[in-house]
């Protein structure tokens, strides 16, 4: 099963012929991902990486049947790219772009209301179903096929968690890097819910960070509806209040935004919280052996 993407997913690359799009599309193709084409306005009718290039997402969907899009478009145009993909009927949009203006994402998020399109990101590493399909910028070799889902705000900690569960002999079903911006498409709770409903996922690693309330929201949902073990980690335990750390959304604005507060809420809701990412794999292995 997995969630969001699999070997049947047909991927379209927006910003296909640019430097970033070219590099990461090449990596995705080498991983075995079914990249069916790309979009670069003005270059429609040409070929790139032995795939067709289209002027619009609508043209690309009509010609290829693409159902997933990945966006490597500059920040000023990325929100428009999200809305164009949704308008064309793309089911899953993975937006890698960092630095999209907040007001642009507000507009895009409002545009998506009532539509069936799900967005991952922006400012994220993407989604990978281990050894099947990579829609993003993560190093594919780290992800070994297995039964643990990963949802994370941090790209590098996504890779660390995948490596940990692989070394523990468990492997990854799907890993979702949701992004660290103040406004993102898919929340921690929504990803956690998808993993709870996936028959191939037996446990979930949930990685958060200071700022915002997504981890607390996910933990409270889990307390009422959780059916599988979750190991949690919060980055930024030594961060001073009021200072942004790395991600645009990683700023402590209130008492519940601190790492300590989030870890307390998660523990109270039945999540197995670790204080170091080095303990993620061993903790999950120990829980599943019980």
Catalytic residues: 247
What is the Cα–Cα distance from 177 to 32, expressed in whole angstroms? 20
What is the Cα–Cα distance from 148 to 166, expressed in whole angstroms? 9
Strands 35-39 and 11-14: parallel
What is the Cα–Cα distance from 109 to 133, expressed in whole angstroms? 26
What is the Cα–Cα distance from 248 to 230, expressed in whole angstroms? 26
Strands 47-48 and 51-54: antiparallel
3-state secondary structure 229-268: CEEEEEECCCCCCCCCCCCCCCCCCCHHHCHHHHHHHHHH
Phi, psi of 117 (to 5 degrees): -80, 130
Phi, psi of 273 (to 5 degrees): -90, 130
What is the Cα–Cα distance from 121 to 127, expressed in whole angstroms? 10
At residue 21's C-alpha, the angle toward residues 118 and 248, to 5°, is 60
Residue 16 · residue 25 · CB < 8 Å:
yes
């Amino acid at each position: 099963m997995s969630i969001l993407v699999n070997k049947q997913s047909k991927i379209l690359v927006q910003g296909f012929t640019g430097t970033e799009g070219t590099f990461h599309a090449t990596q995705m193709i080498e991983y075995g991902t079914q990249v069916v084409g790309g979009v670069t306005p003005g270059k429609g009718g040409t070929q790139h990486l032995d795939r067709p290039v289209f002027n619009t997402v609508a043209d690309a969907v009509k010609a290829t049947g693409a159902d997933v899009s990945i966006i490597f478009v500059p920040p000023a145009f990325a929100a428009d790219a999200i809305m164009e993909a949704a308008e064309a009927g793309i089911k899953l949009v993975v937006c890698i772009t960092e630095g999209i203006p907040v007001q642009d994402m507000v507009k895009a998020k409002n545009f998506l209301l009532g539509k069936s399109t799900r967005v991952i990101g922006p400012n994220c590493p993407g989604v990978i179903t281990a050894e099947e399909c990579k829609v993003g910028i993560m190093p594919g070799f780290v992800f070994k096929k297995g039964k643990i889902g990963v949802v994370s705000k941090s790209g590098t900690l996504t890779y660390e968690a995948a490596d940990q569960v692989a070394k523990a002999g468990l492997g990854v079903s799907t890993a979702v890097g949701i992004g660290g911006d103040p406004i993102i498409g898919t929340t921690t709770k929504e990803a956690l819910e998808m993993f709870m409903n996936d028959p191939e996922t037996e446990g979930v690693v949930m990685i958060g960070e200071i700022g915002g309330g997504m981890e607390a929201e996910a933990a409270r949902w889990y307390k009422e509806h959780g059916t599988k073990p979750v190991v949690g980690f919060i980055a930024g335990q030594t961060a001073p209040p009021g200072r942004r750390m790395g991600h645009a959304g990683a700023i402590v604005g209130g008492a519940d935004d601190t790492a300590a507060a989030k870890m307390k809420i998660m523990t109270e809701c039945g999540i197995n919280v670790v204080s170091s990412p080095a303990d993620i794999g061993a903790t999950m292995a120990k829980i599943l052996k019980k």
